[in-house]
A and B are shown apart, each in its own frame.
Chain A
Amino acid sequence: MAEISPEDRLALHEFSVRYREAYAKSHPLSELHLETIQDAIRGEYEKEQDAKRDVTIEPPSPTPEREPEEPEP
């Protein structure tokens, strides 16, 4: 089976680099996209903080079960 020639690979690589650079310049992140990212990061951060709080707060000691009282005679 034939392999991809270095010349073809080089031409396609050059195209990829230039195309992606030009595309990046014409499609920067919008404010809406930045907000989406910030919201996701904030959401994850809050989950982490909640999880930490759950670990650090000790659970209340269980109330010892009381023996059933003897019925009064």
Chain B
Amino acid sequence: MDDLIKLVKTYRVTAGLAERIRLAEEIFGLIGPDLHLFVFSTVPHHAAQDVYQEVLKAVATGLKKFQGDTAKEFWAWCYRIARNKLNDHYRSKAADRMQPMPPEDLWQMMEASAQTAPMSPAIRHDLEYAMKLLTNSKPECYDFLWNHFVFGLDYGDIAEDRNMSYDNVRMKIVRCLEEAKALVS
């Protein structure tokens, strides 16, 4: 079983405070950076720190009430909380959605990744292609592609967030990817 869901299940049945805190630190060590990326790639930097704090607080507070059995369900639950907090932020600030990640930031991360896990030329080629797809997508496509391909949200999660049908989200993502491919080639 996935380490993350093991920790979450253990947390749910743990009574002592010290042990809960220890488990929570391990859980957040695994999910914190992804939630950080999710928030910081969506909200302007000056506001993201507060939203991220709110997300951490809400996930920690609700941890015992999470009822799923798989890591996938747990991730979906965490991202749902994060989206709710982001929506609260948009409502209060009337801010725009998702800020495109500068291509140079993506390259920087890939270079860092290459230092820890060397890349074959084929992998490097694939990564360059993936980055071009993401950075060349139209503004209205950007967060659909990031949410699905980078954060791993499935069509159903995105549909719920956007108040769209599952099929409409699927078609939108296929269309967005096709458009990005046309721009890249």
Q: A residues within 8 Å of B by Cβ?
A: 1-4, 8-16, 18-29, 32-34, 36-45
A41 near B53 with CB under 8 A, answer no
B33 near A24 with CB under 8 A, answer yes
In the bound complex, how far is the Cα of B110 from the Cα of A48, in angstroms? 45
Chain B min CB distance to A1 (Å): 6
A29 CB contacts on chain B under 8 angstroms: 25, 28-29, 32-33
Check: B66 CB closer than 8 A to any chain A CB. Answer: no
B34 near A20 with CB under 8 A, answer yes
In the bound complex, how far is the Cα of B129 from the Cα of A72, in angstroms? 102
Size category of the B interface is: 35 or more
Q: B residues within 8 Å of A by Cβ?
A: 17, 20-21, 24-25, 28-29, 32-34, 36-37, 52-53, 56-57, 60-61, 63-64, 106, 109-110, 112-113, 116-117, 123, 126-127, 129-131, 133-134, 149-152, 171, 173-174, 177-178, 181
Not counting A20-B37, A41-B21, A44-B60, a sample of 17 additional A-B residue pairs whose C-beta atoms are within 8 angstroms of each other reads A12-B130, A13-B149, A15-B110, A15-B127, A15-B130, A16-B152, A19-B109, A21-B116, A21-B117, A23-B37, A29-B32, A32-B53, A36-B56, A37-B57, A38-B24, A39-B57, A45-B17
In the bound complex, how far is the Cα of B180 from the Cα of A34, in angstroms? 39
Chain A min CB distance to B97 (Å): 20
Instruction: Specify which of A8, A18, A25, A40 is in contact with B181 (CB 8 Å cutoff).
Output: A8
Q: In the complex, what residue of chain B is closest to A49 when comparing beta carbons?
A: B17
In the bound complex, how far is the Cα of B133 from the Cα of A12, in angstroms? 9
A22 near B133 with CB under 8 A, answer no
Chain A min CB distance to B174 (Å): 6
- Contacts A2-B178, A22-B112, A37-B56; A15 near B131 (Cβ below 8 A): yes
B24 near A41 with CB under 8 A, answer yes
B113 near A19 with CB under 8 A, answer yes
A14 CB contacts on chain B under 8 angstroms: 123, 126-127, 130
Q: In the complex, what residue of chain A is closest to B23 when comparing beta carbons?
A: A41
Chain A min CB distance to B16 (Å): 9
